[in-house]
Amino acid sequence: MKYLLLVSILLFNFGKATAEDSNDLLIIDLNSSNGSSIGLNNFLWQKRVIIVFADNPENPNFIGQMKLLRTRPTQLVERDVIVFTDTNPIPANLTRSKLRPKGFSFILIAKDGKISLRKSSPWNIREISRSIDKMPLRKQEMKLLYKN
């Protein structure tokens, strides 16, 4: 039932979530009315989550990070990544309250729900991919992929 609700929310939210020419990289705005109802726990053990925080959408680091994420989206999709954005600190949503970013913040959360990486400057796809590939669960996934 929980997964059915999640799929319903994602399909309904697809107007605000963008997969715009990004090879199905899902980007969800946590500030949208639909995005705010999606909890990160819904993706536990299913997806790696990248959250990009900024105090406003015109933040140069935010703009740069979003451009970097769209350069080679297939590498993120292959690594089961979903991207959330939050550019409005007031009112603070539950995710922002829990993670407490200051200004621009790039956060990578592993499938087990633990924060794997927290950066205050944009990261390119190569750096993100290498960081993900070092995770124990990703190593297991790669073994299974190459075994078949």
Domains of the chain in sequence order: 17-147 (3.40.30.10)
Residue 141's region, left for phi above 0, alpha for psi from -120 to 50, else beta, is: alpha
Write the single-letter amino acid at 75. Answer: Q
Task: Give per-residue pLDDT as tens, 73-112.
Answer: 999 999 999 999 999 988 778 888 899 999 999 999 999 9
pLDDT > 90 in the chain, percent: 61
What is the arithmetic mean of pLDDT over 23-39? 76
CB atoms within 10 A of CB 94: 11
Return the closest-CA partner of residue 8 out of 32, 41, 45, 34: 34
pLDDT reported for residue 40: 78
pTM as predicted: 0.80
Contacts of 42 by beta carbon, 8 Å cutoff, 6+ apart: 2, 6
Output the pLDDT for position 48: 96
